[in-house]
Chain A
Amino acid sequence: MPNSVGFAPNHDEAARQAFVGGLKGYINFALEGQLQRLFDEQLVPEQEAKAPGSLASRADGEALLADNPLYNLWETLTFHSQNQMWDSVADTADRTMDKQIAAFEDILANPRTDGTLKLQDSLVVKAPIATTEIHRQPGGYWRETRPHDLAAGLNYAGTVDLYRNAKGMGTGGKVGSDSLGQLLAGVAKKYAPDLEPKAILDLGCGTGEQTLAYKRVFPAARVTGIDCARPLLRYAHGYAQSEGVAIDFAEMDAGQTDFADGSFDLIVSIIMFHETTQAQVRDILRESWRLIRPGGLALHLDVPYQPSRMPLFKQVTNHWQVRNNGEPFWTGFAEMDMKDELATAGFDPGATFANYEAVGPATFYFFGGRKGVSE
């Protein structure tokens, strides 16, 4: 559509992105599976025979694999396919940028819903978003080179489902799918079947596709999405308006918002916590406790990579992503006890949860809690 904001690859770009998605899926499953069998069935038994008890830690596993040529092949292909992913979506973003910005400016002048976009020049983008190319996205989430820049949003939006599907964390969604938001909304109904939210806050909403799901599932609610990455928020606003869904987007730090106490009765996030530091995880949980109304629910979806449930091999390959592929906080998050952290932030320990939900081949980690009616 000429006046819509959204990631729109042409024939060859879509073909290239589809190949890269297929390649990443092959690397993550077929190749990594072969490597895991080699590790578990040959390398570990040989090492244990030579030096019993010498594989006690992730570092021991890393040392065992470091010079193995199959591991080196997995490493170089994982790294290269990430480069290819960003290159392939940048083709689409660069080609469509002028039209996308024109559509965004048309939406600013002629809004299609009463959803809003509020940006704050005073907001200082903090580390790690300020300092790290998360997922190795060139320019990160906040580089801008022109007025109303949408590049970071377009690039991010183009990879979301490609990346998740290739990691087995997708629900088969295409670009723009709100399937994870729909999943989270369904889980919210399970944890709080009596809750009819009137005000919903989506933390770290990014490009906003999942934020739309909450308005679609709870149409009576006012839905707000916040993020500290301005180009992503522009995209989110343009995309929501293009889809005719009224969402309020605002540029804010999830650990220090401008909202009054008790402003929301459902606070959600999707794969935000593993992209930030442990200190900021704690800030965000404390802020969530302040913002949630009595009787309200906080519910967060994130990666299911807690070391206690990961075999040594997966700890090694996951930590490789931390060191080499723009996931600097994956391990730090996974090592936190989120029920303890929720309780420290103010939630009643008896009303918190941290569980795994399987959807087809994918498993998701859900954690959160309810605020008592009298709290």
Chain B
Amino acid sequence: MSEPTSDADKATSGEFPAGPKPGPRNTTFFDDPVKDGLIRAVVTLGTELSVTRDRMRSLELLLRDSGIISADAIDQLVLDSEEEQARVADRQRLIKDLIGPLAARLG
């Protein structure tokens, strides 16, 4: 078995293989590229909605099966300041991700 030790030298000298030249990531196909952007934003939102739904279902299954909380515990929850700020930051990032590419396209 031989894994050349030259990798360590490359790490310090910055000589790792760069890989191929990056290909296009933002090709558009409609007459107006804003249409592409809007459709992709909706699909991305749908993806994250699906992930969130899956997580909620898993969480609620685990909580219910382990008897940790009652069925109405979520509706009774009051957030502390740290949690509230974290949620604000998450929302802002999502908004930026949604609107940013469209705004960039429009100049």
B39 part of interface (Cβ distance < 8 Å): yes
Q: How far is the CA of A200 from the CA of B55 in the complex (A)?
A: 44
Q: Are B28 and A125 in contact (CB under 8 A)?
A: no
B38-53 interface code vs A (CB 8 A; 1 in, 0 out)? 0110011011101100
Residues in B9-67 with C-beta less than 8 Å from chain A:
10-11, 16-23, 25, 27-31, 35-36, 39-40, 43-44, 46-48, 50-51, 54-55, 58
Number of A-B residue pairs, CB cutoff 8 Å, is 114
Q: Are A138 and B43 in contact (CB under 8 A)?
A: no
How far, in Å, is B43 (CB) from chain A's closest CB? Answer: 6
Q: Are A116 and B31 in contact (CB under 8 A)?
A: no
B70 part of interface (Cβ distance < 8 Å): no
Q: Are B25 and A83 in contact (CB under 8 A)?
A: yes
A339-367 interface code vs B (CB 8 A; 1 in, 0 out)? 00000000000000000000000000000
Q: Are A145 and B16 in contact (CB under 8 A)?
A: yes
Neighbouring A residues of B107 by C-beta, 8 Å:
none
Q: Are B28 and A143 in contact (CB under 8 A)?
A: no
Q: Are A111 and B23 in contact (CB under 8 A)?
A: no
Neighbouring B residues of A77 by C-beta, 8 Å:
39, 43
Q: Are A16 and B4 in contact (CB under 8 A)?
A: no
How far, in Å, is B65 (CB) from chain A's closest CB? Answer: 16
Neighbouring A residues of B39 by C-beta, 8 Å:
73, 76-77, 80
Q: Are B51 and A16 in contact (CB under 8 A)?
A: yes
How far, in Å, is B5 (CB) from chain A's closest CB? Answer: 9
Q: Are B27 and A324 in contact (CB under 8 A)?
A: yes
Neighbouring A residues of B29 by C-beta, 8 Å:
72, 75-76, 79
How far, in Å, is A103 (CB) from chain B's closest CB? Answer: 14
Q: Are B17 and A133 in contact (CB under 8 A)?
A: no
Knowing A15-B51, A20-B47, A80-B40 touch, does A140 contact B20 (C-beta < 8 A)?
yes
Q: How far is the CA of A116 from the CA of B1 in the complex (A)?
A: 5
Q: How far is the CA of A64 from the CA of B40 in the complex (A)?
A: 25
Residues in A173-231 with C-beta less than 8 Å from chain B:
230
Q: How far is the CA of A303 from the CA of B102 in the complex (A)?
A: 37
Choice from B6, B10, B28, B46 contacting A76 with Cβ under 8 Å = B28
Knowing A19-B51, A80-B40, A149-B16 touch, does A117 contact B22 (C-beta < 8 A)?
no
Q: How far is the CA of A140 from the CA of B17 in the complex (A)?
A: 11
Choice from B8, B10, B18, B47 contacting A23 with Cβ under 8 Å = B47
The residue of chain B having its C-beta at the shortest distance from the C-beta of A67 within the complex is B31
Q: Are A139 and B30 in contact (CB under 8 A)?
A: no
Choice from A19, A136, A148 contacting B7 with Cβ under 8 Å = A148
Knowing A23-B47, A108-B1 touch, does A76 contact B20 (C-beta < 8 A)?
no
The residue of chain B having its C-beta at the shortest distance from the C-beta of A148 within the complex is B7
Neighbouring B residues of A108 by C-beta, 8 Å:
1, 3
Q: Are A121 and B47 in contact (CB under 8 A)?
A: no
Q: Are B20 and A16 in contact (CB under 8 A)?
A: no
Q: Are B23 and A326 in contact (CB under 8 A)?
A: yes
The residue of chain B having its C-beta at the shortest distance from the C-beta of A146 within the complex is B11
Choice from B1, B27, B46 contacting A111 with Cβ under 8 Å = B1
B76 part of interface (Cβ distance < 8 Å): no
Q: Are A147 and B55 in contact (CB under 8 A)?
A: no
B81 part of interface (Cβ distance < 8 Å): no
How far, in Å, is B27 (CB) from chain A's closest CB? Answer: 6
A99 part of interface (Cβ distance < 8 Å): no
* Contacts from B to A (Cβ < 8 Å): 1-4, 6-8, 10-11, 16-23, 25, 27-31, 35-36, 39-40, 43-44, 46-48, 50-51, 54-55, 58
Nearest 10 A/B pairs, CB to CB: A143-B19, A15-B54, A75-B29, A147-B7, A144-B16, A140-B20, A139-B19, A133-B23, A19-B50, A80-B40
Other A-B pairs, 8, CB within 8 Å; known A76-B40, A116-B2: A12-B51, A15-B55, A72-B29, A76-B28, A76-B29, A77-B43, A119-B2, A148-B7
A–B Cβ pairs within 8 angstroms, 22 of them: A11-B54, A12-B51, A16-B51, A19-B51, A72-B29, A72-B31, A80-B40, A108-B1, A116-B1, A121-B4, A129-B20, A130-B20, A133-B22, A140-B20, A141-B19, A142-B17, A143-B18, A144-B7, A144-B10, A144-B19, A146-B11, A326-B23
